[in-house]
Amino acid sequence: MCVARKSLELTGLFEAELLVELMLRFWQHPLADDREFRNDLLEKTAEILRQAVAGVRVMEVVRAENTNFVAAMWYGEWTATQELIGESVEGRKRWLDTVQRAMPSCFCNPDDLPP
């Protein structure tokens, strides 16, 4: 099974918009109320998943075919914060840390998880 392909299929559904919004709000992303930001992040997530389906490894620890929706969304936000400085980026970086700590299994290959 190609996790990246299945995750990419999800991006066209309403449920993907809902997941993005819920993740941003639940873990208190400072731009959670910004509809344009949420839409842009979903588009970035879809693009990252398209790259993964094409075999491009975007995250060092996850093989391209194992890139899931959450990891792709996280990576999209992580890349956006790399060029930012100042107070406005601190909340976004806290969100990134929180997501990674809350869902560590999204950031590894499925075969690395215990049975």
Residues spanned by the domain of 100: 3-109
End-to-end CA distance of the chain: 17
Question: Which amino acid, 76?
Answer: G
Residue-level pLDDT at 40: 97
Q: Is residue 51 part of a domain?
A: yes
**What is the residue-level pLDDT of the chain in tens, covering all 115 positions?**
699 999 999 999 999 999 999 999 999 999 999 999 999 999 999 999 999 999 999 998 899 999 999 999 999 999 999 987 776 799 999 999 999 999 999 998 777 766 6
What is the reported pTM? 0.92
In a domain, 114, yes or no: no
39: in domain? yes
Report the alpha-carbon distance of residue 6 to residue 4 in Å, rounded: 6
Q: How many CB atoms lie within 10 A of CB 91?
A: 15
Alpha helices (H) in the chain, listed in sequence order: 3-10, 14-26, 35-53, 69-81, 87-102
In a domain, 23, yes or no: yes
Residue at 17 is within a domain:
yes
The DSSP secondary-structure symbol of 111 reads G
Residue 14 within any structural domain of the chain: yes
The answer to whether the CB of 48 falls within 8 A of the CB of 77 is: no
| Bridge partners, residue 62, by sequence | 59
Tally of domains within the chain: 1
Where residue 57 falls (left for φ over 0; alpha for ψ -120 to 50; beta otherwise) is beta
Rounded to whole angstroms, the Cα distance separating 45 from 20 reads: 10
Tell me the residue type at 45: T
Is there a domain that residue 53 lies in?
yes
